Structure 1
Amino acid sequence: MNSISQAIRRVWAGPWIPPDQGRMPYFWLLSLGYMFWKYAYVHPSAVEAAMLVLTFVVFIPLYCASYWARGWEVLACMLGGCLIGIAWVRWNVGASTFFIFACAMAAQIMHVRRAMLAIGGVIAIGVLTSLLIEPMQMRFMFLMPILTVSLPVGIGSFMDARLRRSRQALVRKQEEVEHMATIAERERISRDLHDLLGHSLSLIALKAELARKLVHRDAEACAREIGDIETSARQTLAEVRAAVTGYRHSGLAHALANARASLAAADVELCEQVERINLLPATEHVLALALREAVTNVVRHAGARRCTLSLFVEEGSVVLRVLDDGSRLRTHADLRHGNGLSGMQERAAALGGKLALRVGTGLALELRVPAGGAA
C-alpha cells in the first residue's frame, strides 16, 4: 500500500504522468466523454451529476497512478477501473469506457502472457457485467465498444510501452558504452604517459648524472650532455601534450633513436637487427611504446652490459625481441608486472597479439602482433 500512496502523492505533486510518456495519456482522457452521450438525450438528476463528478475525481488520479504502478499495483488499478464501470452499468452504458481504460493499463505489465491474460480478464468481466443490463439494445451498445476496442487498445498500449522500455534500455546501454569508452581512453592515456615519462625521464636522469661527472673533467662533453637533456625534455613535453589530446602516433624510427641514446648513455652495448617494415599506424604505435618500455627496463633494472634488439616478420606476425645479459633478474618471481608490462600486454591484446617474457641469462622480451598491412 505504501507504493500506491506514494504514487498518489506523486500524482498530486506532479508530474501527473511520467515525462517519457509525452502528452498522449492526457489526450486519451477525452474518451471519458463517452459517459456524456446519454445526457444528450436525458437530463441528469442532481444525484447522478454529483456521482459523475465523484467518479471523475476518483478515476483520473487512479488512471494517472496506473502509469507509475508496477507489479500487482497494475492489477489493482485495472480492477479499480472495472469496478467503476460495474458501478455505472445500470445507469449509463458509456461506462464501457472504463473497461477500455482498464485494458490500456495492462501496458505497465512487463510479461506478454500476463498482460494478455489481464486484458482477457477485463474483457470477460465486461461481458459478464453486460448481463446486468436488461434491454438487449442497451446491452449491445455497452458490449460493442468492449468487444471491438478493448483488445486493440490493450495490445497497442502494451506494445507501445514495450517499445518505449526497449528504447530506454538502448539509451542506457549506449550511455554505458560511452562511459566504458571514456574509462578505456583514460587508461590508454595513463599507460602512454607512464611509458613516455618513464623512458624520457630515465634518459634525462642518466644524462644529468653523466654531465655531473664530466663537469670538472670535460666541460665541452658536459655541455653536449646538457644540450641533449634540453632536447630530450622538449621532446618529452611535446609528446606528453600530444598524448593528452589523444592524437599522438609515436614513430618506430623515433623510438629506435631514443633507445640507442638511452642505452649509450647507460653504457650498454646495443646489437641491432631491425628489418625495414611498412607498418599500420596502430601496429607501429604499439611496437614503439613497447620498445620504449623494454629499453627503459633494461636501463633501470637489468644491470646489463649488452642488449640485443631485433624486429622482423615471422609467420604473418611482426616480432619485436629485446634481450639483455643483466644479472638482476634470476627467476620469474623477480619480475614485477607494473604499469609498463601491463600496458604492453593490454595494447598487444587489443591488436590480437601477445607478450612473452623469459628469464635466463638476463631477460628476453618478445612481442608478437598481427602483421596486417605490413610488407
Structure 2
Amino acid sequence: MTGNDNISSARESKWPWIWLAYTGFLFIDPILEPNRHIWLGTIAVFVTFLALFFGYVRATDEGRPLRFWMIGATFLLGLVTFPWNSGAITFFVYVAGFLPFSVESKRRVLALFFVESLAILGETYLFRAPGPLQIGWPNAIIGIFLLIIIGGGNIFFAEQKRAECKLRAAQEENVALAAVAERERIARDLHDVLGHTLSVIVLKAELAGRLIESDPQRAVREIADVETTARTALSEVREAIGGYRSQGLTAEMERTRKTLQSAGVALSCESPVPQLNASEETVLCLTVREAVTNIVRHAKATQCRIRFARSEDGYHSLLITDDGNQPRIREGNGLRGMRERVQSLGGRLSITTSPGVTILIELPHTTDTQNDLTPSTHSSEIKAPFVTT
C-alpha cells in the first residue's frame, strides 16, 4: 500500500464536501452585476464542477488515477471561466488544495503550483484589455496568493495525514506479524510437547498390551503411567497455549531416560547438565524432546548418547547421537521448529546421518548465564556421566 492509498483510505467520507463552500465565490459577479448570460454560464460551470468534484472524491477514496484527470479538468474549467467571472479563482484554489493529497512528492507539488501561477499570469496578460472578457491584475494576484496560502497549508496537512497513515499501517503490520509469530510458536510448542508425550503413551500402551497376560501387575502400572502421561499432556497443552516453560534440563533428562528406557534404548550422558538461562534451557529441553521422539518413532536405535560441552568459540553445545538406521532425514515440522528455535537465539544446528543420526546444537554464551558447566541444582537424580539400559 502506497502513501497515497493510505491517505485515501484514511479520509472520512463526509469532510471533503465541506470544501464546496469555496464555490460561493462563483456567484459574487452574477449577484453584483445581474446578467442572464452570466447566471446561465455560472450555473453551467457550477454543475460541471460538481461532477468533477464528485469524481475526484470518488477517485481519491478508491485510489484511482482518475483523480489527476479531475484536477486537470478543474484547472481548465478555471481558465475558461476566469475571463468572464472573476470568481473562477476558486477553481485554482481547489487545484492547489487537491494536489498535495494526490501527489506525494512535495517538490513536484511546488512545481505544479509554479506552473499554475504562470498559467494564471499568462491568461491575465492575454485578457488584460478592457472588454466583455477581461481579467484584472489584482484578481490574478489574489488568485495566486490564495493558491500559495491554501496550497501550502494543505501540503502540511497532507504530510501529516500521510505520516499518520503510515504509522497506522506499521502498527497494523506489527500486530499481524505478532499474531503470525504467536501462531507459529503455539504450533511449534504443541508439536514438540504433544509429539513426545503421545509417543510415550503409545509405547506404554503397547507394552501394557504385551504384558497383560504374562505380567498383569506390571501391565496395570504401565496403564497407570499412561493415565499420568495423558494428564501431563493436557497440562502441557495449556502451557503451550500460554507460552511453554520448561521444568529444567535435569527434569527433561530424567523424562528422556524414562522414555528411552520404555522403548528399549540405552541412554548415556557423558557430561554434567549445564545451568543456563530460561530461554536457553527451554530451547535445549524442547530440542532434546524432539530428538528423543524421533529416536523412538523412527530410528530403531539401541543406544543414545547425549553430551553437553562448551566449544572453543564460546558456544554452549548439545550433541545427541544414536545408532539407529535412518539413512535419510526429511525436515518436517519438528526439525524445522527445532531449527527456528535455535536460530532465534543466534545459535547453530547441524544434522548428520552417518552412522545413525547426530544432532549438534550450539547456542552463544550470554552474560546472564552463570556456572555454565556446573550441574543443575533442580534435581539430584541425574548425575553425570550416567548410563541406563
TM-score, normalized by length of structure 1? Answer: 0.83
Residue of structure 2 in register with 1:26 after alignment: 17
Residue of structure 1 in register with 2:375 after alignment: none
User: For the Cα contact (< 8 Å) 2:256–2:292, is it kept in 1?
Assistant: yes
1:341 is aligned, of 335, 338, 347, to 335
In the TM superposition, residue 44 of structure 1 has moved relative to its aligned partner by 1.3
Mapped partners of 1:356, 1:324: distance in 2: 15
Mapped partners of 1:148, 1:302: distance in 2: 83
In the TM superposition, residue 109 of structure 1 has moved relative to its aligned partner by 2.8
In the TM superposition, residue 359 of structure 1 has moved relative to its aligned partner by 2.6
Deviates more, 1:293-302 or 1:177-186: 177-186
User: For the Cα contact (< 8 Å) 2:345–2:363, is it kept in 1?
Assistant: yes
Deviates more, 1:348-357 or 1:246-255: 246-255
Alignment of 1:1-375 (within 5 A): 20-21=11-12, 23-38=14-29, 42-67=32-57, 68=59, 73-107=66-100, 108-131=102-125, 132-134=127-129, 139-243=136-240, 245-251=241-247, 252-314=249-311, 315-326=313-324, 328-329=325-326, 331=327, 334-372=328-366, 373-375=368-370
Give, as a single letter, the amino acid of the residue that structure 2 aligns with 1:83.
L
Give, as a single letter, the amino acid of the residue that structure 1 aligns with 2:90.
T
Mapped partners of 1:73, 1:325: distance in 2: 70
Mapped partners of 1:134, 1:228: distance in 2: 106
In the TM superposition, residue 28 of structure 1 has moved relative to its aligned partner by 2.8
User: For the Cα contact (< 8 Å) 2:82–2:135, is it kept in 1?
Assistant: no
Residue of structure 1 in register with 2:377 after alignment: none
Mapped partners of 1:82, 1:218: distance in 2: 97
Give, as a single letter, the amino acid of the residue that structure 2 aligns with 1:200.
T
Mapped partners of 2:87, 2:79: distance in 1: 11
User: For the Cα contact (< 8 Å) 2:352–2:359, is it kept in 1?
Assistant: yes
Give, as a single letter, the amino acid of the residue that structure 2 aligns with 1:32.
T
In the TM superposition, residue 73 of structure 1 has moved relative to its aligned partner by 4.0
User: For the Cα contact (< 8 Å) 2:186–2:243, is it kept in 1?
Assistant: no
Mapped partners of 1:36, 1:318: distance in 2: 82
Runs ≥4 residues deviating over 6 A? none
Mapped partners of 1:176, 1:272: distance in 2: 46
Give the SS at the match of 2:79: helix
Residues 33-55 of structure 1 deviation map (CA, whole Å, 9 limit, x = unaligned): 33344466x34123322332222
Give, as a single letter, the amino acid of the residue that structure 2 aligns with 1:300.
R
Q: Is the alpha carbon distance of 1:146 and 1:202 closer, same or farther for their aligned partners in structure 2, counting shifts above 3 Å? A: same
User: For the Cα contact (< 8 Å) 1:313–1:371, is it kept in 2?
Assistant: no
In the TM superposition, residue 172 of structure 1 has moved relative to its aligned partner by 3.3
User: What is the CA RMSD across the aligned residues, in angstroms?
Assistant: 2.8
Mapped partners of 1:19, 1:206: distance in 2: 59
In the TM superposition, residue 80 of structure 1 has moved relative to its aligned partner by 2.7
In the TM superposition, residue 232 of structure 1 has moved relative to its aligned partner by 0.8
Give, as a single letter, the amino acid of the residue that structure 2 aligns with 1:250.
S
User: For the Cα contact (< 8 Å) 1:208–1:225, is it kept in 2?
Assistant: yes
Give the SS at the match of 2:304: strand
Same amino acid, percent of matched pairs:
33
Give the SS at the match of 1:216: helix
Q: Which runs of 5+ in 1 are unaligned?
A: 1-16
Mapped partners of 1:336, 1:24: distance in 2: 59
Residues 180-220 of structure 1 deviation map (CA, whole Å, 9 limit, x = unaligned): 33223222222222222221111112112222222222222
Residue of structure 2 in register with 1:8 after alignment: none
Residues 153-191 of structure 1 deviation map (CA, whole Å, 9 limit, x = unaligned): 234334533443444344334333433332232222222
Residue of structure 2 in register with 1:11 after alignment: none
Residues 66-87 of structure 1 deviation map (CA, whole Å, 9 limit, x = unaligned): 2426787445333433333333
TM-score, normalized by length of structure 2? Answer: 0.80
Greater relative contact order (Cα < 8 A, sep 6+): 2
Q: Is the alpha carbon distance of 1:322 and 1:18 closer, same or farther for their aligned partners in structure 2, counting shifts above 3 Å? A: closer
Give the SS at the match of 2:317: strand
User: For the Cα contact (< 8 Å) 1:85–1:96, is it kept in 2?
Assistant: yes
Give, as a single letter, the amino acid of the residue that structure 1 aligns with 2:369.
A
Deviates more, 1:364-373 or 1:60-69: 60-69
Give, as a single letter, the amino acid of the residue that structure 1 aligns with 2:148.
L
